[in-house]
Structures are given as C-alpha cells and as structure tokens.
Structure 1
Amino acid sequence: MSGGLWDYRDSVWDYRESTWTLDRDLVGYEVEAPDGRLGVVVRASSSSAAAYLVVDAAPGIAGLRLVPAGAVTSMNHDGRTVRIALTGVQLADAPAYEVDSLDDSVRAEHDHFFGNLDPR
C-alpha cells in the first residue's frame, strides 16, 4: 500500500542512523510519540537482520509491543529517550509481542500491520 509507514525506508528493520545504537543499551529508555509518553524499552535488538525495540507500553495500552527500528525517528542518549513515529493509538492497535524471538511469522504479522499505517 502506498503511503505506509515503511515507504520511506529501504529496510524497516534498521535504524535511520546506524550510530544510534553503537555501543548503547537502550533498555530502560523512555519511548515518546508525537502524542506523549508510550512506555519503556524492555528489549532492544540492533541485529543487521532485524533491529527493533520491545516496549512495555504505558497504562491504557497494556502489554509488550514490538516497534521495528524504522519507526524510530530520534534518540536522546543523555535524556535516555527514544522518539517514534507512532501514536499511542497506533501502538495500542499493534499486535501484542508475546514471544521471545522474532521469527518469520512474527515479522510478517508486524510487516502487515505497520505497512498499512499512514505515517501522518
């Protein structure tokens, strides 16, 4: 679908800036969106095969959500925050992340969901 969140990147499973995660552990960083705080990073992968964050979502969303690295718009290491291009509603509507690994079926489910989002 044209206009999806992924259209601006060659790889949605990679950070926009490769230096963002260089020698960094993002666990514990606050996750912020255009409409407010969304939760805390509880797991982060910077793997070349698939970079992503697992967010323990704020009350009202409940549960873990996987955020592909391509949705990250900026990082503030001094302030320990990550900004993402998703709203609270979009994160709440995202599939829950209930497994310990990102296999092909989990990745496909998230590709389908995020690929159909309007990034505005």
Structure 2
Amino acid sequence: MGAGMWGFPEGSGHAPGAELVGYRVEATDGSIGRIDKHSEDVGRCYIVVDTGPWVFGHHRLIPAGVVSRIDRAREVVYLDCSQEQIKDAPDFERGRYDGDAATVRLIEQHYANWHL
C-alpha cells in the first residue's frame, strides 16, 4: 500500500484481495457511479468506475492513490477529488489500458496535475 498515485493510501481501509466490484463511488461533492472493475497489480492498483447516467456511457480508470477511504459496511469507496475532476479525466476503453503507454501517460498526467 501507499505507492504514490498507483497505491492505496495508508489508512484508506483497503484490504488486499477484498472484492470492490459493485461498490458505490463518492467524490468529495457527490456520487459518480459504481466500481465495474478493480486491479491490485503490483505498482499499478486502480478502480474502474461505471459513471452510469452521470457521464452517460463512460468509464473512468482511477488510480488507487485517489481513494481516501473504503467503507465496507456501506460498500462505498470515497475519493479525494471532485465530480468535475473525474468528469474531466480521460475515458477508459476496455482492452486499451493494458500495455498502452499512451493511455497510462494520459491518466498519470491528469491525476498528477492536482493530486500529488
């Protein structure tokens, strides 16, 4: 845990191996959707959020370092960013992220500009 942008912060409540798919995701100013996928890859942990009707038909890949805390009892993941910051993030296209350096770079640039 705690590997900069790509690691869950210490004290976030993340438990390695815990299933987060289906959890609701809350930005600092409201709901943004539900977790569609999450990864615990060493050095590159993230969640993928299905934004549903909020940003219709879009998914956002969010580095684990943006997670502020996880409430297992309520099945909610809280983020340390606003809805607007998530809305402005690059779209996540299934099958494109793995091994695509350009997509990784876009995501890192977006979140590095305000998070770290």
TM-score range, shorter chain: 0.7 to 0.9
> What is the TM-score of this pair, normalised by structure 1?
0.82
Q: Which has the higher helix share?
A: 1
8 Å CA contact retained: 1:13, 1:70: yes
Counterpart-to-counterpart distance in 2, 1:10 and 1:79: 26
Q: Tell me which of 67, 82, 96 is aligned to 1:72.
A: 67
1:11-26 equivalences under 5 Å are 11-17=4-10, 20-26=14-20
1:105 aligns to 2:111 (yes or no) = no
Change (3 A) 1:34 1:19: closer
> What is the TM-score of this pair, normalised by structure 2?
0.85
8 Å CA contact retained: 1:21, 1:46: no
Alignment-mate amino acid for residue 22 of structure 1: P
CA shift digits 1:88-116 (9 cap, x unpaired): 11111100001323332221110111111
Identity %: 29
SS of match in other structure, 1:25:
coil
Q: Any runs of at least 4 consecutive aligned residues in structure 1 with deviations exceeding 4 A, and if so which?
A: none
SS of match in other structure, 2:37:
strand
The total of aligned residue pairs comes to 111
Q: Which residue of 2 aligns with 1:44?
A: 38
8 Å CA contact retained: 1:61, 1:91: no
Q: In angstroms, what is the RMSD of aligned CA positions? A: 2.0
Counterpart-to-counterpart distance in 2, 1:50 and 1:118: 16
Structure of greater relative contact order (alpha carbons < 8 Å, 6+ residues apart): 1
Q: Which residue of 2 aligns with 1:33?
A: 27
Q: Which residue of 2 aligns with 1:61?
A: 55
Counterpart-to-counterpart distance in 1, 2:46 and 2:68: 13
Counterpart-to-counterpart distance in 1, 2:72 and 2:54: 26
Unaligned runs of 5+ in 1: 1-8
Counterpart-to-counterpart distance in 1, 2:34 and 2:91: 15
